[in-house]
Chain A
Amino acid sequence: MPHIWLRIIEGDFAVCKINDISEVDFGCEYVFLSKTDEELSLVCAAQSVPETAVKVEGDFCAFKIEGILDFGLTGIISGISGILAKNGISVFVVSTFDTDYVLIKHESLDNAVRLLHAAGYGVRGGGYELPARETGARVNPVFAIFAIIGSLLIGAGIILILATNWWKISKEAKTCIAFLPLVAAQAVVLYTLIRKRGSAAFSEGSSLFLVLSVFAVNALIGQVFHSPIELEPFITTCVVLALPSVYLMNSKSAATVCVAGAMWAGLSYGQPVWQSMLILAALLPFFALRVYKTKSKHELWYVLLLLSAVLPYYIVKAAEEASSVFDAGGTEIALACGVALIVLDAAVWLFRKDCFFTPTKFAGFSVISVTLIVSSFPDNVDWYDYGFTFTVLLAMALLYNFITRPGKRKPNGTDFFVSAALLLSGLQFHWLAANALLAAIGVFYIYAGSRRYTLRHINFGMALVVFVIAARFFDSGLGLLARGVAFILLGACFLAVNYFIYRKKRAAGSGAR
């Protein structure tokens, strides 16, 4: 879509039905008159409405589509009205020879401006000055997140295959090979900066490539020289090195990898938490600026999604520490926190049914998912007294069901999560049960998502299934070559499914949601 600017015309407008054309005040700046065999309609400034008007509908404000629209142009009005209609904002459209005018009620103005700007339209006038953007520059956040996961899986697969099977090559040759990913990534980033500036796909893709290559080159060199550095300090070093690329390339993907790396490195057992907090603090201005500049709900949604991914780590970590205080298992406490977040979300839903996102629910899902993953390892089974936790979970599940009135709706994914938490507690956190529950919820979401073509459900389901498979990589005797190939296949699946659904949704004209 080319840059389209909308100008808000100062003043109130009214739409009215009149009987006599002679009463129209043509001295006004804006007068739109329509005559048919049945009626005479007038759109004008509110103060110029004829006193003899039969019917008057007032309190409108008007957007003018700037520039001259050729008669051959298609989809201009449908693009704008589609966005507004999807969000329950009704429109009244008037066309002239040169352009179109869109009228909406004053009460919807702020919301309409936000939605239109988020969709790439520039808005000026009425106190707004929001620049137009290429809509192609906005990457769907869900698509971006799962493209990152796909890339990471593919990257890990390549490293696993390469790094463990090149022992017959000399140190010098291995060192040269180790630098190839970094040099290639830098070349791609420079090409993007010089030739493809403004292309979100190139910007995100090349910066992600750069960040991964920083990890790759350091891992490979460490391996060539048998470096004894532990995994967590290694990840922290790489994240710190990759951090400037987030700001230089304005890359959400790079920022997301840095957040994930910081969480992993900082919250691993025995690692200082302040390191991860410092890295997150360094990334905070980046996300804040993006939300502030774009005023887009997608950006806000992305940040909240990231926060909901970050939160579980702190909750699980805090639960581990709390377990020694409360004499209960860390997994139990984390699970209870997860369900509590979902109940909280349901309670918020009671009062604010118009909430367009539910971060607490995401956080609740994430906490339960992480707890299930932790419990899915045979060595991590907590053998404590479950009576208290089971009672608390049961009470919260009942509360959740009471709030959301199960008799009046079909069971959904949230019910599965609450039930899974209950079941796991009832089955005394058995690792087999955790594996089965994770896989079952994953398959449910993939099934539900594929029926409705909703990326977020398919991806969430695939992520859970991948977690089950990946977790089993660690405690199985699978060879590294096989593990690498499996990682690459899983990553390719992620990317392929996302791309396929994304294209399908775009073709359908709704964009992937």
Chain B
Amino acid sequence: MKEKRVVLICAVYFVILLLLPVYSVFCHFDTLRTGEYYKIRVSPADPYDPFRGRYAAIRADISLYDHDNYYEYITLEKDAGGYAVNAVFHKEPPEGSVYAKKMEITRYYMNEKMAPKADEIQRTAVTEGDDVYAYVAVKSGRYVIQGLYVNDVPIEIILGGGGK
């Protein structure tokens, strides 16, 4: 009887363990599919995380931080081309507009061999005045980076790779 109870509790625990990342994945995909997209111009850098791999560290050209940590929510204003041109901070979730909670556009994970090349491409593109931007989907407080683009071409395509 006790053993059955342990198996049952374990099963419930396992469902919770599975549901949490499943929910997170669902939210990410939902944001990517139905969220509102913004192009956020970024500048490159090239560090790496010792455990999760190399990533292109990117910094949004517009300020996405409230340095006093006073405002938690952010809405973006975009121009006709879809580029985010201004960030507005709010204390409460703004009603009727698309907002994100504490937006950080800092990491774009890449293959370790490709990250330095991506960095080089971005630097060249920036110095030559090309458009380098992160394509970001925003919905109900969440946001997901869909891809990193140089002149509307995914960085992976430029580097000769496939999916994102």
Contacts and interface: CB of A to CB of B under 8 A. Distances in A.
A219 B107 CA distance: 14
Nearest to A174: B163
B39 to A, nearest CB: 16
A218 B164 CA distance: 18
Interface in B46-68: 48-55
21 contacts: A163-B52, A164-B112, A167-B163, A171-B164, A179-B18, A182-B18, A186-B14, A190-B10, A190-B11, A193-B7, A194-B7, A219-B52, A221-B25, A223-B52, A225-B144, A231-B51, A245-B13, A248-B6, A248-B9, A248-B10, A248-B13
A169 B111 CA distance: 11
Contacts of A165: 111-112
Interface string B138-155: 000000110000000000
Interface string B96-108: 0000000011111
Given A225-B28, A241-B20, A248-B13, A480 B145 contact: no
Contact of A186 (B9, B17, B20, B55): B17
A287 interface: no
Interface residues of B, number: 44
Given A165-B111, A226-B108, A156 B7 contact: no
Nearest to A192: B10
A479 B14 contact: no
A479 B113 CA distance: 8
A291 interface: no
Given A163-B53, A193-B6, A480 B112 contact: yes
Interface of B: 3, 6-7, 9-11, 13-14, 17-18, 20-22, 24-25, 28-29, 32, 48-55, 104-114, 144-145, 156, 161-164
Nearest to B160: A168
Contacts of B29: 171
Contacts of A167: 110-111, 114, 156, 161-163
A168 B163 contact: yes
A227 B24 CA distance: 11
Interface in A137-163: 156, 159-160, 163
B56 to A, nearest CB: 10
Nearest to B49: A231
Contacts of B21: 178-179, 182, 217-218, 221
A193 B111 contact: no
B25 A226 contact: no
A197 interface: yes
A170 interface: yes
Given A163-B52, A193-B6, A226-B144, 15 more contacts: A156-B51, A159-B51, A164-B53, A167-B162, A170-B164, A173-B163, A182-B17, A186-B14, A189-B10, A193-B3, A225-B25, A225-B28, A241-B17, A248-B10, A480-B48
B25 A193 contact: no
A167 B53 CA distance: 11
A401 interface: no
Contact of A168 (B48, B49, B161): B161
Give the dominant DSSP class at A's interface: helix
Interface string A217-258: 111011101111001000000000100110010000000000
Contacts of B114: 167
Contacts of A474: 50
Contact of A244 (B13, B32, B161): B13
A473 interface: yes
A225 B162 contact: no
A193 B8 CA distance: 10
B109 A223 contact: yes
A316 interface: no
Given A182-B21, A190-B10, A481-B112, A170 B51 contact: no
A228 B106 contact: yes
A214 interface: yes
A18 B24 CA distance: 83
Contacts of A164: 53-54, 109, 111-112
A96 B97 CA distance: 89
A358 interface: no
Which one of A174, A190, A227, A474 has the highest number of Cβ atoms from chain B below 10 Å of its Cβ? A227
A175 B17 contact: no
B18 A186 contact: yes
A189 B10 CA distance: 9
Nearest to A214: B17
A212 B53 CA distance: 17
Those 8 A-B pairs whose CB atoms lie nearest each other, nearest first: A164-B53, A170-B163, A228-B104, A168-B162, A167-B111, A226-B145, A480-B112, A225-B28
Contacts of B11: 190
Contacts of A228: 104-107
A241 B29 CA distance: 23
B136 to A, nearest CB: 10
Nearest to A215: B51
A44 to B, nearest CB: 45
Contact of B53 (A217, A225, A227, A480): A480
